[in-house]
Amino acid sequence: MANIDENSVGIVQTQTMRLVDESEPLKLACGKTFAPIDVAYETYGKLNDAGDNAILICHALSGDAHVAGYNSPDDEKPGWWDVMVGPGKAIDTNKYFVICSNFLGGCSGTTGPSSTNSQTGKPYGLDFPIITIGDMVKVQKLLLDKLAIGQLLAVIGGSIGGMQVLQWAIEYPDFVRAAIPIATTTHLGAQSVAFDAVGRNAILADANFTDGQYHGAKGPDGGLAIARMIGHITYLSEQGMREKFGRQLRSAEEYSYDFNSEFAVETYLDYQGRSFVERFDANSYLYITKAADYFDLAKDYGSPAQAFADVESRFLVVSFASDWLFTPEQSGVIVDALTANRKDVSYCNIASPYGHDAFLLESETLGAFICCFLKATYDPDGEKQPCSCSAGMGRAFSHIEQAHRARVDYELIESLIEPNSTVLDIGCGNGVLLANLITDKGIKGEGIELKQDLVLDCICRGLPIIQHDIEQGLGSYADKSFDYVILSHTVQTVKDPKKVLEELLRVGKKVIVSFPNFAHWRCRGHLFFHGRAPVTKQLPCGWHDSPNIHFLSLRDFDEFCTDLSVKIEKKIPLSQKRLRPVKFMANLFAEQAIYVTSKNDTSLRP
C-alpha cells in the first residue's frame, strides 16, 4: 500500500504525448530520421507565473518517468527518487515545477525498440535506430516546448541521467540556468565500455534473443539477467559489498557442494537479475548502453573544454568517493573543463561507501547540496537567507569556523583587494572572506576547499566552490585567471610550499599569502631559553600534534621569494590582535605576516 504522507506528492499519473509524427520525423545523430515518437512523462508541483521554477530530472539506465509519489494507491513502492522530490524535500514541489520523461529508446512508455513498428505491425526490435544521448535530449526539449516551458531553473540527473544534463547545458545554453550532473562523466572509460559490451554480448548470445524479435515468446531473460548482475556488481563498491554480504551463506552453515547459489551475494544477484527481467526490455538495454558508450564530449566537440565553452548554466558537479563506475576523477574532468572556461562551477566529492549506488542512497547529504544550490540559484523572495532544508543550513555557520586559523588577517586581506576584481581563495573554509569581499568590494570570487561540510557552506552562500586538494595543483586554470589568489594560513600546512606557491603565481596576477611567524620573540625565546619547540597563540599545538608541517619566519619567506624570483609587492607584519602593521623589527615582533607577491616577468630579462 502506498504510504502517502505530507511529504509525498501523492497519486500521480504518467502521461503520454506524441511529440514527433511522420509529417516531421526527428533527425537522429546516426543520420536516419525517425517517427513517430511518443513520450511518457510525469510532473509534480506547479509552474509559477514567471515560468522560472521548472526543473527537469533525467533518469538513468533502468529508471523511468515515475520519479515520485504513487501511480496507484495499491503501489507498494513510490517513484525511484521519491526521497528527493516532494513537498518540503530537497527538490521541493511546493516551490518547483518538476518534470521527468522516460527517455527515447526506453521501455516505460516512451517510444523504444519494444514499440510497434507501424510498417511491420511488429515491435521494432533491432530495426530501431541506434540513438544517442543527444537524441534523447532533443526529444526532452520537444516535450518542454509543448509544455510551454521557456527556460529551466535546473536540469538534474545521475549516471546516464548526468550525461543528459551535460548535453542539455551544452546544446541549449540559454535554456538552462543551473545544471546538476551527478556521478557522471564526459565519456565512459575502457573498463565501463567493456562491462557494457559483456552485458550486451550476454543478451545477443542468448538463444532466445532471436535477433530481437522475441516479443510474444520467452525473451533472452538469461542474458538480460547476466547483464543486470554485472551492472549491479559495478554499482556497489567492494567495501559496500563486503560489508553487506561478506561470505555469508544464504541458509546454511556448511557449503552445499553443488552449483546452486549459496552465498548471500549470489542470491542477491539472482534476485536482481530476475526482478529486472520482469520489468525491463532486453532490446532497450542494448540501445541505452550503446548510447552511453557513444557519449563522448571530446569526440563531439573537440575536447571537454571546447564542449563547455558556451554554457551559461551554473554547475553543481557531484561525485561519490567510492564510485568506481563513474569515478571522482571523471567528474574532475568535467570540473576542469568548466574552470578552464571560467564558468560558475561548484564540485563536491561526497564521502560514501556505497559506490555508484550512493547517487540513490546518500539522499540526505546529496539532498542538502542540491537544495542549497537550487536555493542559491532561485530566490524569488530575495531573502538571501540560509536555506531551510532539514539537512541543510538551518545552522548559522558559526560553529564551523576553522580552528587554528587566526582571523585577524581577514580584514587586512580585504583592504588589500581592489574593488570589482577576481579572487580565488585557496582553503576558503566556509567562505566568509569571499562573501565579505563580494558584499564590500563587488569582487567575483571562487573558492577551493577540502572539507565537505565547508564546501556545503560555500554552496549555501552561493559561492562557486571546488572541493580540491591544492597540493594537486591547479592544472585546469589558465595563466593569470585571477587578479588575486589568497592563501591564508595554509602555506605552512602543505607538503610542498614551493610547488603550491609557483602554481598560485601562475594562475593569479597577485598572490596574497599569510602565515604565522616562527621567529616571533616568543617562539625564539621558547627555543633559545627553554630549548623547546614553541607553543604560542599563533602556534597553539605541541610539536607532535600540530597541523603545521613547516615552520617559517618572515625572513625565511623573504629568502624563499628571492630564490623563486618572486616579487614581494607588499609585506605586512602583524601582531595577534591589532590590524596595525608591526613597523619595528618585524621578524621579531610580528606574530603573523601577510605578503602580496607577484611573478617577476622573467621574459623581460635579457
116-117/122-123 β-pairing:
antiparallel
Near its own copies by CB under 8 A: residue from 301, 324, 397, 410: 324
Region from 108-116, 191-199, 358-366, 382-390 binding its own copies, contact rule CB under 8 A: 191-199
Identity of the residue, 352 or 430, whose beta carbon is nearer to its own copies in the bound complex:
352
Identity of the residue, 231 or 462, whose beta carbon is nearer to its own copies in the bound complex:
231
Near its own copies by CB under 8 A: residue from 469, 479, 496, 569: 496
Region from 82-90, 286-294, 375-383, 477-485 binding its own copies, contact rule CB under 8 A: 286-294
Q: Determine, following the binding rule CB under 8 A, whether residue 211 of this chain makes contact with its own copies.
A: no
CB of 351 to its own copies, least distance (A): 19
Angstrom distance (rounded) from CA 423 to CA 446: 6
Q: Determine, following the binding rule CB under 8 A, whether residue 190 of this chain makes contact with its own copies.
A: yes
Contact (Cβ atoms closer than 8 angstroms) between residue 274 and residue 225? yes
Angle ∠(394,395,396) on CA atoms, nearest 5: 115
Instruction: Name every residue whose Cβ is closer than 8 Å to that of residue 313 and which is 6 or more positions away in sequence.
Output: 169, 173, 176, 177, 178, 179, 343, 344
Q: Determine, following the binding rule CB under 8 A, whether residue 303 of this chain makes contact with its own copies.
A: no
Q: Quick one: which of 411, 418, 354 has its CA closest to 580?
A: 411
Identity of the residue, 126 or 400, whose beta carbon is nearer to its own copies in the bound complex:
126
Region from 94-102, 103-111, 195-203, 392-400 binding its own copies, contact rule CB under 8 A: 195-203
Identity of the residue, 278 or 545, whose beta carbon is nearer to its own copies in the bound complex:
545
Near its own copies by CB under 8 A: residue from 266, 312, 483, 502: 266
Residues in the chain: 606
CB of 201 to its own copies, least distance (A): 6
What x-and-dash track marks residues 546-585 binding its own copies by CB under 8 A? x--xxxxxxxx--xx-------------------------
Beta strands in 250-290 (DSSP E): none
Q: Determine, following the binding rule CB under 8 A, whether residue 531 of this chain makes contact with its own copies.
A: yes
User: What 3-state class would DSSP assign to 216?
Assistant: coil
Angle ∠(229,231,234) on CA atoms, nearest 5: 115
CB of 532 to its own copies, least distance (A): 5
Near its own copies by CB under 8 A: residue from 1, 50, 148, 207: 207
Q: Quick one: which of 139, 142, 103, 129 has its CA closest to 32?
A: 129
Region from 35-43, 54-62, 477-485, 525-533 binding its own copies, contact rule CB under 8 A: 525-533
Angstrom distance (rounded) from CA 379 to CA 397: 20
φ, ψ at 408 (rounded to 5°): -60, -25
Region from 174-182, 184-192, 340-348, 479-487 binding its own copies, contact rule CB under 8 A: 184-192
Number of H helices, E strands in the chain: 19, 21
Residues 13-52 that bind its own copies (CB under 8 A): 30-31
Angstrom distance (rounded) from CA 592 to CA 553: 9
CB of 263 to its own copies, least distance (A): 5
Residues 427-446 that bind its own copies (CB under 8 A): none
Question: Residue 81 is placed in which grid cell?
Answer: 527518487
Residues 218-257 that bind its own copies (CB under 8 A): 222-223, 225-226, 229-230, 233, 236, 238, 241-242, 244-247, 255, 257
Identity of the residue, 399 or 495, whose beta carbon is nearer to its own copies in the bound complex:
495
Q: What is the DSSP string of 298-360?
A: HHHHSSHHHHTTT--SEEEEEEETT-SSS-HHHHHHHHHHHHHTT--EEEEEE--SSGGGHHH
CB of 582 to its own copies, least distance (A): 13
CB of 86 to its own copies, least distance (A): 34
Near its own copies by CB under 8 A: residue from 27, 385, 471, 543: 543
Identity of the residue, 66 or 520, whose beta carbon is nearer to its own copies in the bound complex:
520
Angstrom distance (rounded) from CA 56 to CA 61: 17
φ, ψ at 238 (rounded to 5°): -55, -45
Near its own copies by CB under 8 A: residue from 44, 124, 128, 294: 294
Question: Residue 446 is placed in which grid cell?
Answer: 571562487
**For the chain, how are helix, strand and coil distributed in percent, rounded to 5?**
35, 20, 45
Q: Quick one: which of 454, 463, 573 has its CA closest to 513?
A: 573
Measured CA to CA in angstroms, residue 339 lies from 296, 309, 333, 445, 465 at distances of 19, 10, 10, 13, 11
Identity of the residue, 422 or 546, whose beta carbon is nearer to its own copies in the bound complex:
546
CB of 226 to its own copies, least distance (A): 5
Residues tagged active-site: 159, 323, 356
Question: Residue 302 is placed in which grid cell?
Answer: 573537440
Near its own copies by CB under 8 A: residue from 251, 396, 530, 605: 530
Residues 327-356 that bind its own copies (CB under 8 A): 327
Residues 123-162 that bind its own copies (CB under 8 A): 126, 129-130
Region from 42-50, 72-80, 169-177, 259-267 binding its own copies, contact rule CB under 8 A: 259-267
Q: How far apart are the first and last CA of the chain?
A: 82
Region from 390-398, 403-411, 437-445, 542-550 binding its own copies, contact rule CB under 8 A: 542-550
CB of 202 to its own copies, least distance (A): 5
Q: Determine, following the binding rule CB under 8 A, whether residue 410 of this chain makes contact with its own copies.
A: no
Region from 138-146, 309-317, 527-535, 566-574 binding its own copies, contact rule CB under 8 A: 527-535
Torsion of CA 331, 333, 335, 340, to 10 degrees: 180
Question: Residue 237 is placed in which grid cell?
Answer: 563498491
Q: Quick one: which of 340, 339, 319 has its CA closest to 329?
A: 319
Angstrom distance (rounded) from CA 428 to CA 23: 56
Identity of the residue, 80 or 557, whose beta carbon is nearer to its own copies in the bound complex:
557
Number of residues in contact with its own copies, rule: CB under 8 A? 87
Cβ atoms within 10 Å of 401's Cβ, excluding its own: 12
Q: Determine, following the binding rule CB under 8 A, whether residue 265 of this chain makes contact with its own copies.
A: yes
Near its own copies by CB under 8 A: residue from 51, 88, 150, 189: 189
Q: Determine, following the binding rule CB under 8 A, whether residue 469 of this chain makes contact with its own copies.
A: no
Angstrom distance (rounded) from CA 242 to CA 103: 34
Identity of the residue, 200 or 461, whose beta carbon is nearer to its own copies in the bound complex:
200
